[in-house]
Chains A and B, each alone.
Chain A
Amino acid sequence: MPDAKILSAPLVLEYPFSRTVGPVQGAFLTGLREGVVLGVRGVDGRVLCPPVEYDPVTSDELSELVELGEEGTVTTWAWEPAPRPSQPLDHPFAWALVRLDGADTGLLHALDAGSPDRVRTGMRVRIRWAAEREGAIADIACFEPAEDA
């Protein structure tokens, strides 16, 4: 049998999942929609952000939500030179763990810094809110440097 040209075609697999978020993550996401970031106080007094429903050490239920600042400190980061279509920014950026003012743990998000030369551990950053917010982590469009360059 002679072989003609081999056919190929786009094939997209998409699973349209949704999930319920529970009382604590629900409050966190409601806060993002309203432009407020919440953490939760753990049994040892530390404030965890993003908040969790159960204490990571004792497994106790947690309920004390704490309002945090819109600025924070980069605790660690990695440069993303080639963002994929679903990622927060369409140009190179840093993935950063940001310890928001009032929190004791880091929130992972994109930092729009322009170049890796402008990112350092310990730098101050602030939230850039999305123009339209719906109660999702993307309500924070990204972080941006809060200091003068």
Chain B
Amino acid sequence: MTDITLPAALRDVEPVRSIRTPARLDYTFTAGAATSRFLRGIAERKILGERCGTCGKVILPPRGSCPIDGVPTTEQVELPDHGIVTTYCVVNVKFSGSAMELPYVCATVLPDGADMGLFGMIQEIPFDQIRMGMRVEAVWVPDDELTTDLASIRWWRPTGEPDAAYESYREHV
């Protein structure tokens, strides 16, 4: 690298080596009719999927149509707040706004009876003991903190039941 000759006034000061260049996008997210129904259920500790009348799959979170058949979903299905971890990742990098202690685990949780999983975090178990097929249940925030936000499910924790066999959820990985 070529030597840079600085003007006298700058020779004895701490040089600037990096700059902050944040990129910020301000959106208003509109949930749509089906996801609004789902989020109102969440505020009542209910997980509401919607069934496709053509293929019979229960879409979660519902978007109002079936992504396979492209037809409107026709039946609301209340699902239990327990299910299995179908896939997960260990998060080792802190990002702004997150108060989670590292490392922690993000997972896709498939409630029993659903054909699509919800995004969530797994807690109350060491991160290196989490596995695909592990049975988990939702840990909800206290009643007075429930809102129309998936954050009303604080995280998921193991139930201690035997793991589901891979064959039972291979369609959902």
Contact = CB atoms under 8 A, between A and B. Distances in A.
Which of B5, B6, B30 counts the most A-chain CB atoms under 10 A from its CB?
B6
Contacts of B27: 10-13
Given A9-B29, A11-B29, A17 B23 contact: yes
Interface magnitude class on chain A: 35 or more
Interface in B2-45: 2-7, 9-10, 13-33, 35-37, 39-40
Nearest to B30: A8
Contacts, number: 121
Interface in A9-43: 9-21, 23-24, 26-27, 29-31, 33-34, 36, 38
Nearest to A9: B29
A69 to B, nearest CB: 13
Nearest to B36: A7
B22 to A, nearest CB: 5
A65 B13 CA distance: 16
Given A11-B27, A13-B24, A135 B16 contact: yes
Contact of A65 (B4, B26, B28, B33): B4
Chain A interface SS verdict (over half): mixed
10 closest A-B pairs by beta carbon, nearest first, are A135-B16, A11-B29, A29-B16, A63-B2, A11-B27, A8-B30, A61-B2, A7-B36, A14-B24, A7-B31
A89 interface: no
Nearest to A35: B9
A29 to B, nearest CB: 4
A73 B136 CA distance: 68
Given A8-B30, A8-B31, A30-B16, A62 B2 contact: yes
B6 A65 contact: yes
Given A13-B24, A23-B4, 19 more contacts: A1-B50, A6-B31, A7-B148, A8-B28, A8-B30, A9-B28, A9-B29, A14-B24, A15-B23, A18-B19, A20-B17, A27-B4, A27-B15, A30-B10, A36-B7, A36-B9, A63-B4, A65-B4, A65-B7
Interface magnitude class on chain B: 35 or more
Contacts of B14: 30
A100 to B, nearest CB: 15
A71 interface: no
B13 to A, nearest CB: 6
Contacts of A33: 13, 16
Which of B2, B3, B50 counts the most A-chain CB atoms under 10 A from its CB?
B2
B2 A21 contact: no
B24 A27 contact: no
A80 interface: no
A28 to B, nearest CB: 8
A65 B9 CA distance: 13
B3 A63 contact: yes
